[in-house]
Structure 1
Amino acid sequence: MEGDAIKEDTITGEPIDTVAALVAEAGIAARRLRQVIARLTERERPPAGLDDLVREHAVPRRTVEALLRAAGPDLDGPLLRPSAVPRYRERFGYDELHRPRRAPDLTEVIAAAPAADRSLDHVSATADTAGRRAVWLDETFDLTGAHLVCVGDHDLTSLAVRRANPGLRVSVVDVDDRLLDYIAAQDPDIDCWHADLRFGLPPALAGTADLVFTDPPYTPEGVRLFLGRGAQALGDRTNGRLVMAYGFSPLTPALGLKVQRAVLELDLVTEAILPAFNRYHGAQAVGSASDLYVCRPTPDTWRALDRRLAKASINIYTHGGQSLEGRPGGALLPGALTPADVFGGGPVAVRSGAAAVDLTGDPGPWLLRALLAVNAERLTLLVPNRHPDLADAASQAALREVAGAKYTLRYRRSTPDPDHAIVEAAATGAGDAAAWLLTHAHGKLGNVVRESLIRGSGGTLTKNEARAEAARLMDRPAWLDARLLDLPRPAVLRLVRASHS
C-alpha cells in the first residue's frame, strides 16, 4: 500500500471502527493489514515493536503506523488491551486467518470436463495446479465477499477457488459454451458469460471485479487482450489485482520479452512472479509449466486502455487458422460484414433488407451469435464447411431450435467451395414472444423477457406479473441487466423454450 492515501481524517467513531475503515480501504489487498491486527491480539508472543510488525507482515511502515494510531485508545503497550481482544478478533476474522487450508481435489471434475480445443490454445492444467491456485489466492487476498472474474477458464480455476472459499462471488467469461455449461452445472452459484474477448467484454462484467484470473494464449497479442479485458472488468482501480499464468521456453527468451512488453504497454506493474507455479497436461514446448504473475493497474492503465483494445487482432493464438501465422478471410464474400462489425458494437440493423457476414474464421459460436446480433430480412453467412452447427442433421436442427423463431434457415454445404458453407437466413416476420426475444438480443434482458412474456400472453399479463416471471425464468439476478448475446447458449435455448410455452 506504499503511496496509497490513508484517509484517517474522514473516519470518526470507536477505534475499532476507524481501524475497520482503514482495512476496508485496502480492498482485496487487506489481508496483510488484518494479519497485523491479529498479531496485536497475541499476548503469548508480543511483537518487539513497529519494526517487527513491518518486517513480519511485509506492510509499509506508514500503513502500520496508521493502524496503530487508529487503534491507539485500545492499545496497552505493543498489544491490544485484553478486554478489546475478543472484539478485534471477531471483527477482523482471526479464526479465518489461522484456519488450515487444504487444496480442493478436482481430479474427477477435470477429467469429466469438455475436451480441450487446441485451436483456442486450451491446454489443461493439472488438478494439483487448480488446487494450489485456489489455496494461494485464498491465502494472499481477502476473498470473502469479493468478486473474482476468470477471463477464460478451461482449467476450472473458478470451481477450485469457490471450493476453497465459498464466500467468494465468481464469474467466468469464455468463448466455449460447452465449458460454461459444465461449470454452471458443477456450481450453480458461478455466473457464466459468453464472449469472444476479441470483440469485447460483456457489459454486465465491466467494472465489477476485485480480482481477475487468466491463463491466456501465450502470444503478445493474446496476453495483451486477456489482461486488457481483465482490467476492464476491475471495479477497484486502486487495489484490484490481475493474476496471470504465463510461461515461455528458456530456449526462446525473446518471446518472453515480447510478452512482458505487452504487459508494460498496458501500464500494469508486475508485483510478483512465482516461477513454474502451474503445470499442464501438454504444453511441452514450455516445459509443461508456466509462471504466476501478479499485476496491478496504475493510473496510466485507464487513460488509453479502451483505445489499445479497440483494434484487437483476430490472430492471437499459437495454433490453427487464427494463430499468429494464420491469414484473415474475406475474399469469398466481398463487401460482407466482418465479425468485428457484427460483434464489436451495438445492434446491427440492415436498412436495405439484405446482408452478408463473413464468418470463415468461426471457432464455433459466431454463427448463432451473428443470427442473434443482426436483424435483416435476408442474411447470408459464410462459415467453415466443418462448422459444428452444420456437422449433421441433429446439429442443424439444434441451431434451428434456438434461432428458428427469428430466421428460417437453409444450409448449403460445400458452397462456394469444399472448405466453406453458406447459411441462408430469411426473417420469419413472426411477432410472438420468442421472435421478440431474439430480435432484441442487445437489450437489457429483464426488460426484453418481460415484454416477450406480455406479448406471448396476448396482453393478459401485467408488467409486474411479467417482471416477476422474467426473474423466475432467469433465476440469476445478474442476467436481468445483461444482454441475450452474453448468455451461454444453453441459457439462450432455455429462454427461447420458455417463450414458446
Structure 2
Amino acid sequence: MEPGGIDAVAAAVSASGIAGRRLREVIAALAAGPTTLDDLVRDHAVPRRSVEALLRAAGPDVREERGKIFLNPLISPVYSDRLALHRLPDEPRVDGMAALIAAAPAPDQALDHVAATAETAERRARWLATTYDLAGARVVCIGDHDLTSLALRRACPDTEVTVVDVDERLLAYIDGQGAGIACYQADLRFGLPPAVAGSADLIFTDPPYTPEGVQLFLGRGAQALRDRANGRLVMAYGFSPLTPALGLKVQRAVLDLDLVIEAMLPAFNRYHGAQAVGSASDLYVCRPTQHTWQILDRRLDRLAGSANIYTHGEQSLEGAAARGPARILGGGPLRADELTVDLSGDPGAWLARVLLAVNVAKVTLLVPNQHPDLRDEAGQTALRELIGAKYDLRLRRSTPGPKQATVEATLRPAGEDGVAGWLLTHAHGKLGNVLREALVRTGLPRAAAAARAAELVGRPEYLDARLLDVPRHVIVPLLHR
C-alpha cells in the first residue's frame, strides 16, 4: 500500500489548528487544476517546507504532468467533502449589529469604554472567519464592550465563543441574545476564571490603551489559550501619531510577554469617540513563542491587583490605587473571624464578588457612596437577593464621609438557608459539584441530585465553573429555585 492520502492530509491540517485554513486553500488549489509548487507557495503565503510536507502527506493522490501538479480528479470530491473545501470561498454574512449595539448597555465611563462602530464589529468577524479555521474552534473575547462575540457567532455559527468581562450589565445583555455564548465575570487584575484557562484557540481583545492594560489583557488571553503552538491573540490598539513614544511603550509591553507581532492592519477599527487617536485603532495579530510560557506568570504577578490600567476615569493611571481585593479575589477561600476590606476603588463588581468569596463571621467593607449596589433601592434589593442567604447586610451610606459608604456583613448560621446558603458559602467550588452536594443534603440520591443540578444550571459550560465566576444574572435564579 502506498503511503499518504486523505487521512494523512486531514491529520496535517488538523495539527495546524486555526492556522490550517491556508493549508486547506493549498489543497483546494490542487483540486482546481494543474499548478506549480512555486505558485502554491506564493499564492497562499505558505512556507515551501509546509507545502512540500502537505504534498508528501497526499502521496499518490497528487499527480504530476509536464511540470504541473494537481490532485487526482477521481479523488478530489473526497478531499472536498472531508476538508470542506467548498466552504472556503464563502463570505460570511454579518448583519444587524447596529441594532444590537444600539440596544446594549451604555459604555462604562469608569472603565474608559469607547464603543466601536457596528461596521467595525462586522469587519472583525468577517476577517477572523476568512483568515482562520474557526469551525469547531473556541474564541475567547477578553473584554467585549464592542459585542465582537455576537458578530462572530453570526459569521461562524459553528464556532464556540466565550466572553470574560467585568461588566455584569454587558454579560446579561450578551447572554440575553440567545447566541449560546458562555459568559464569565472577572476583573482581570485579579485573575482569569479557571474554567476559561487553557480553553481557547484564538483570543480577541480591545484592551485599555496603556502599557499595563495591554500587557494584562494579552497576558490573561495567553493564559486562556489551549493551543500554544498555533493559537493567536488578536488585539485592537491605537495611538496618536503625535505621541509615538506611547505607542513604543505599549509595543514594548507586548514584546515583554515574548509575543511576536505577526501582523498589524492599520486603522482597521473605528470608534464613536476616542478622537485623541483619530477614532481609530490598528488590528494586531500576536503569537506566543516558547519563551512566553516561561515568563508569563511572573509578568502577570507583577501586574496582579493593580487598579490602574485605564487611560481615563476613576480607574485610570491618574486615579488612587485600590487596596484590599487582590488577595481575596485573586486567591483561594479566605477564612477569619473578622475582616475589613478597602474597596474604595471598586468600579462596581468587587463588592458582590468579595462577599461571595469570603466566609468570614463579620466583614466590613468600604465602598464608594455611589456604588451601583448601594446608590438606590433597586441596587440594594439586588445585592440582598444575591447575598442575603449568606450574609445579613447593614448598608451605611455617606459613612465615614460624603463620598464613601460602609457595608457591614454578618454571616448567617450554617444550614439556615438550605441550598442557597450552601451554594454561597462554597463559591470557590465547581458549581455542578457544589449544587449536587447541596441537593444530596436535602435527601436526594446522588445520581438524582447530579441530574437535577444539571437541569437547574441549564448551561453545561457552567457546571465546571466556580460560582464566583458566573454572572449575577445566572446566580440569582439558582438561589431562588
1:451 counterpart = 2:437: yes
- Counterparts of residues 482-497 of structure 1 (less than 5 Å): 482-497=465-480
Secondary structure (helix, strand or coil) at the match of 1:79 reads strand
CA distance in 2, matches of 1:101, 1:246: 25
Q: Kindly tell me: are residues 266 and 83 of structure 1, through their superposed partners in 2, closer, same or farther at Cα, counting changes over 3 Å? A: same
Q: 2:140 is paired with a residue of what secondary structure? A: strand
Structure 2: gaps spanning 5 or more residues: none
Aligned to 1:65: 52
Question: How many angstroms does 1:104 deviate by?
Answer: 2.7
Structure 2 counterpart of 1:42: 32
Q: Which residue of 2 aligns with 1:382?
A: 366
Residue type matched to 2:51 in 1? V
Q: Tell me, yes or no, if structure 1 residue 435 matches structure 2 residue 421.
A: yes
**Alignment correspondent of 2:283:** 292
Assess if the C-alpha contact under 8 Å between 2:125 and 2:148 holds in 1: yes
1:130 equivalent to 2:114? Answer no
Secondary structure of the residue aligned to 1:381 is strand
Pairing 1:412-431 to 2, within 5 Å after superposition: 412-431=396-415
Q: CA deviation at 1:310?
A: 1.3
- Tell whether 2:335 aligns with 1:323: no
**2:22 partner letter:** R
The count of aligned residue pairs is 472
Please give the secondary structure, in 2, of the residue aligned with 1:68: helix
8 Å CA contact retained: 2:91, 2:130: no
Partner of 1:391: 375
- Compute the displacement of 1:454 (Å): 2.5
Do 2:3 and 2:60's aligned partners in 1 also have CA atoms closer than 8 Å? no
Deviates most, 90-99 or 250-259: 90-99
1:82-97 counterparts in 2 under 5 A? 82-97=73-88
Equivalent position of 2:270 in the other structure: 279
Please list, as runs of the form range in 1=range in 2, the aligned pairs for 1:308-387 lying within 5 A after superposition: 308-312=299-303, 313-329=306-322, 338-350=324-336, 353-387=337-371
Instruction: Compute the displacement of 1:101 (Å).
Output: 3.0
Q: Which residue is 1:52 aligned to? A: 39
Q: Does 1:402 align with 2:386?
A: yes
Instruction: Letter of the 2:319 partner, please give it.
Output: G
Secondary structure of residue in 1 paired with 2:302: coil
1:231 aligns with 2:217: no
Q: Deviations over 1:88-115 (max 9, x none)?
A: 1111111110223333330100000000
Cross-structure match for 2:61: 74
CA distance in 2, matches of 1:392, 1:100: 48
- Counterpart for residue 6 of structure 1: none
User: Relative to structure 1, is the Cα distance of residues 411 and 144 closer, same or farther in structure 2, using a 3 angstrom cutoff?
Assistant: same
How many Å apart are 1:475 and its aligned residue? Answer: 1.3
Give 1:440's aligned amino acid: H
Shift of 1:430: 4.0
Give the Cα separation in 2 of the matches to 1:423 and 1:375: 15
Which amino acid in the other structure matches residue 428 of structure 2? H
The match for 2:188 is 197
How far residue 394 of structure 1 moved from its aligned partner, in angstroms, is 2.2
Conserved 8 A contact 1:405-1:430: no
Offset from partner CA, 1:141-189 (integer Å, 9 cap, x none): 0000000000000000000011001010000000001000100111341
Q: Give per-residue Cα distances to partners, 1:193-217, cap 9 Å, x unaligned.
A: 0000000000001111000000000
Other structure's SS at 1:388 match: coil
Name the SS of the counterpart of 1:389 in structure 2.
Answer: coil
Cα offset for 1:223? 0.1
Quote the Cα distance in structure 2 between the aligned partners of 1:320 and 1:90: 53
> What SS does the aligned partner of 1:368 have?
helix
Cα distance in 2, alignment partners of residues 121 and 478 from structure 1: 30
- Partners of 1:263 and 1:328 in 2: CA distance: 23
Separation of aligned partners in 1, 2:77 and 2:434? 51
- Give the aligned partner of residue 206 of structure 2: 215
Whether 1:121 aligns to 2:121 is no
Partner of 2:165: 174
Conserved? CA contact 2:307–2:322, under 8 Å: no
How far apart, in 2, do the equivalents of 1:133 and 1:371 lie? 37
* 1:473 matches 2:456: yes
* Contact 2:3–2:59 (Cα < 8 Å) also in 1: no
Provide the secondary structure at the position in 1 that maps to 2:235. strand
- In structure 1, what is the Cα distance between the partners aligned to 2:421 and 2:247? 49
Check whether the contact 2:308–2:316 (CA below 8 A) recurs between aligned residues: yes
Confirm or deny: 8 A CA contact 2:112 2:313 kept in the other structure: no
Task: Give distance in 2, aligned partners of 1:394 and 1:155.
Answer: 27
Amino acid in structure 2 at the alignment position of 1:76? R
Q: Deviations over 1:462-483 (max 9, x none)?
A: 1111100110111111111110
Residue 124 of structure 1 and its aligned partner are, at CA, apart by 0.6
Q: Which runs of 5+ in 1 are unaligned?
A: 1-11, 331-337
Distance in structure 2 (CA, Å) of the matches to 1:415 and 1:311: 33
SS in 1 for 2:392: strand
- Check 1:427–1:101 CA distance in 2 against 1; reply closer, same or farther (3 A cut): closer
Percent sequence identity is 66
2:50 maps to a residue whose letter is T
Paired position in structure 2 for 1:333: none
User: Does structure 1 retain, via aligned residues, the 8 Å contact 2:92–2:156?
Assistant: no
Give 1:329 shift: 4.4
1: distance between equivalents of 2:449 and 2:93? 46
